[in-house]
Structure formats: C-alpha cells, structure tokens
Amino acid sequence: MTESASLFERVKQKPVRLLPDSIFGQILFVLVAGLALLQIANFLVVCGVQKLYVDQMERARIEHVVSYRALFESIPADLRAETLNAAHGNPALAQSLERVTIVRERPDWAAPDPILADSLGALKEALSAGGETPDVLVRGEGSESLLPLHAPTMEVAVALTDGTWLTILFPVEADDRLMVWSQRLFVFLEALVLLVPLVYLLKRVTNPIDRLCGAAEAFGAAPEESPALPEEGPRELRSAANAFNRMRAQIRGHLDERNRMIAALAHDLRTPLTKLQLRLARVEPEKLRDQLVDTAKGMNAILTQGLEFARSLRTEEPMTKIDLPLFLQSLADDYADLGHAVTFACDSAFEENPQKGVLPARPLCLKRCMENLLTNACAYGGSAAMRLTLEKNALVVTVSDRGPRIPEELMEKVFEPYFRVEGSRNRASGGTGLGLPIAKNMAQLNGGTLTLANRPEGGLTVTLRLRLSAAG
C-alpha cells in the first residue's frame, strides 16, 4: 500500500508534457495538428460528396428496376424470353440489358444485410407507387464502412404478374472505384505537398535558434575562442544574435582586462618580493629569519599561482591529435619515477582498437590539468589512481585518492579561485586555492568538463570528460 502511494505521488509530481521540448518540435506539432484537422475536414467533405454519389446511384438503380418491370409487364408473357434474347443480339440494347434475366421460379436467396435491407425497403416503396406491392428480393455485398467507398454490389429479383421473376444485376463499375480512390489519394497527396515545404521553412526559421544555443554553449566553454554569431534569419533572431555578439564582445573585453591586471600585478610584485627574500636571508636571529623567509615563499607561491591562473584562462596552443592512453601512461610513469604512488589503467576497448583513444587536444594544457589533479591527489590522499574509460561521445578520465572527503554543498565552490576547504585540504598542506580552478580552466580549453564526487569508501574522485568532437 505504501509503495503504491509512493508511486502515485511520483507520477502525480511528474509533469505531463503534451508538446515536444524543442521550439522546432512544438511549431511542427502545431502545424501538423492543424494540417491534420484540415485534412480530416477535407476527408469528411470528400466522403460526403461520395455519399451523395452513392445515394444518386441507389436512386438510379431503383428507377431502372421500376422501368424494367414496367417494360416486361407490357410484353406478353410468351414473348418476354424471345424479346430479351432479341435485345441481347441488338448492339444498341445489349449493354443495358445484358444483366437482365427472366426466371420461372422464385430465387432462393438469404435475407440481405442491413444496408441492402434499406435498399430493399426503398425498392418496395417505389414499386408500390402503382397501387400494388410485388415481391422483391435483394442480395449482394453491402458496404460496412461508415464512410462508404462505393455503392454496394446488388442483384434484384422482382416478381411479375404471371409468376415469373425478373432479375437485374447491378455491379460496381471499375470507374466508380477508381474515382473514389483517386479522390482520397488526392487528399493525402495534398497533405504531403503542404507538409514538405512547411517543414523546410520551419527548419530555416529554427536553424538560427540552434546556432544561437550552440554559440552560447561554445562561449561558456571557451570565451576566448568562440566565434561571432552570424546575424541572419528573421528579425527577432537577428536582434538576438546581435545582442549575443555585443554581450560576447563586452565579456571578452572584461576577461582580457582582468587577465592583464592579474598578470601585471603578479609581475610587478615578483621583483620586490624576490628582493625581500634576499634581504630576509640576512636577518637575525635564525628562527625569525626562517619564519619570514617561509612567509615570503608563500607569498611568492600565491603570486606564481595567480599568474598561472590568469594564463589558464586563454591559450594560443593549437589543437592536435594525441593518443590519450599513451599520454596518461607516460604521465603516471613520470610521477612514479619521482616516488609518488600513481597508477594508470584503461578499458580493454583501447587495446582492441587503439584509434578509440585518439582525440584532438591541447597537450600542454591537458598535461597541466592532469598534473594539478595528480599533485592534489598525492598531497591530500597519499596516492592517485587514474583510469580511462570510453563513453558514447567522450573519453572519461578519473583520478581517485584516499584523502579527506569534501562536504557535498562545497563541491562546486572548490572550483572558485582562492577557495580552500577547512581541514586537511587547506593552505596547511601547501595549497593556494588555485589548483582545481586552474585544472578546470585547462579542461575547458580542451573542450572538457571537470567534476568532483566523494567515494563511498572514502576519498575523492575527480572526473575529466573530454568530448570526442572537441575542436579548436
């Protein structure tokens, strides 16, 4: 009972989407729905015309039966067969009388279906107009459709006054079927002819929106490299593209100004700080000197990291194809040679097909990103385990350590410059709060993303996801 209630609540809370999620899908849905309603109305009109045609054919059949019965009643009984045979031999009469026969006994026909029964009632009413109501039989194939394709195939038998029976066959002509299906085919062809140009025009309208979304995403990943957006399409979209380009230019100007300011400050402060370190080396007593030198070294590290952070926001390094498994293995070997507990493993898919591990990247930026991650893992966790896996559209590199966990609410803040987590992962371990922000910027310069997650068994896992479609 509880599980059912919980399921009901989840279903109740989940919003019901009647329209597609994209603008193209929504507009196309509205157009197709409107076109469908139009075609349904058109279809009903065509069927109405066909119904009138069928009714007219039914009336013509009734008139034929009445006329044929009156004709053969006017002919003496002993001459009817001879007259009918003579009519069949006359080219002028043969076509109209070829389906008319005279039989002596009452035909043994079953009761007609409801549609033919209606026709039978109409025949009796028409034949009784002369004051008598002769026996009438009907058989054939009725149309079961609510929207009839054609008048039913029908054979009529009507009794004559001498006891013989006149039978008349009314088949459905091939031309009737062709007319009906040609009308309905025209309805659907009309819908298709209207839909194709509508979809084409709709795509032309929504393509600028797709480009705007792509440009916004590219600008967010690499502001310094994203190109300007073409200002084309409808007036509203041209205005949106123009606003985006102006915003892009302003943001890039602010970023350039910030980078120049950070680089200038770091450069201008480095020289006096170096002089300060040299002078502090002559300070007495030794304990005070060591403290002051350590403080100066810390300040120098902050300046160095700040300069590196400014440089991580942009690069002129071109994209080139690299073998990522070999690249990571070489990096792990370098750290192992320096005495760090760094391991590397990858999926067997890369051994079976080495080309799956090749992707465009900026090697120096990628190396700096991975060095920051490995150094951070070794400093706070004592070891680092790298692993490379293959996803549908990306290569995924994970770096896991056994260090302290980070509160979930601080996972995103650790990527902010100069932010340090209280506890073991702080400046006491030599950090400046710029290692992960630099790594994130370097990842973005490679078209990748960087995320953090706590391990269930303890420690952290940093995930670098590199798109296989990354391009410079």
Whether the full predicted model's pTM is greater than 0.75, yes or no, is no
DSSP of 183-233: HHHHHHHHHHHHHHHHHHHHHHHHHHHHHHHHHHHHHHH-TTTPPPPP--S
C-alpha distances out from residue 256 to 247, 249, 444, Å:
14, 10, 17
Q: Cα(37)–Cα(31) distance, rounded to whole angstroms?
A: 10
Supply the pLDDT for residue 26. 66
Q: CATH class for domain 320-467? A: alpha beta
| Residue spans per domain, the chain | 24-177, 222-314, 320-467
Q: What's 222-314's CATH class?
A: mainly alpha
Query: What is the reported pLDDT for 9?
Result: 55
Residue 35 three-state SS: helix
Mean pLDDT, rounded, for 191-203: 73
> What are the Cα distances from residue 194, in Å, to 26, 40, 85, 411?
18, 14, 56, 53
| pLDDT of amino acid 97 | 66
pLDDT at site 38: 72
Q: Is it true that 222-314 and 320-467 share their CATH fold?
A: no
Q: What percentage of the chain reaches a pLDDT higher than 90?
A: 13
Q: Which two tokens stand for residue 242?
A: 């123009």
In a 3-state reduction of DSSP, which class is residue 258?
Answer: helix
Q: pLDDT digit string (tens) for 68-124?
A: 888 888 888 878 777 777 776 666 565 566 678 888 888 888 777 666 777 778 778
Model confidence over 231-285: pLDDT tens digits? 877 777 788 888 888 888 888 787 777 777 766 776 677 677 777 767 677 677 7
**Buried-exposed string 48-73: b where 16+ CB fall within 10 A, e elsewhere:** eebeebbeebbeebbebbbebbeebe
More confident: 194 or 101: 101
What are the pLDDT digits (tens) for 40-53? 777 777 677 767 77
Closest-CA residue to 215 (of 202, 233, 199): 233
Q: Which amino acid is at 421?
A: V
The pair of structure tokens assigned to 17 is 């989407």
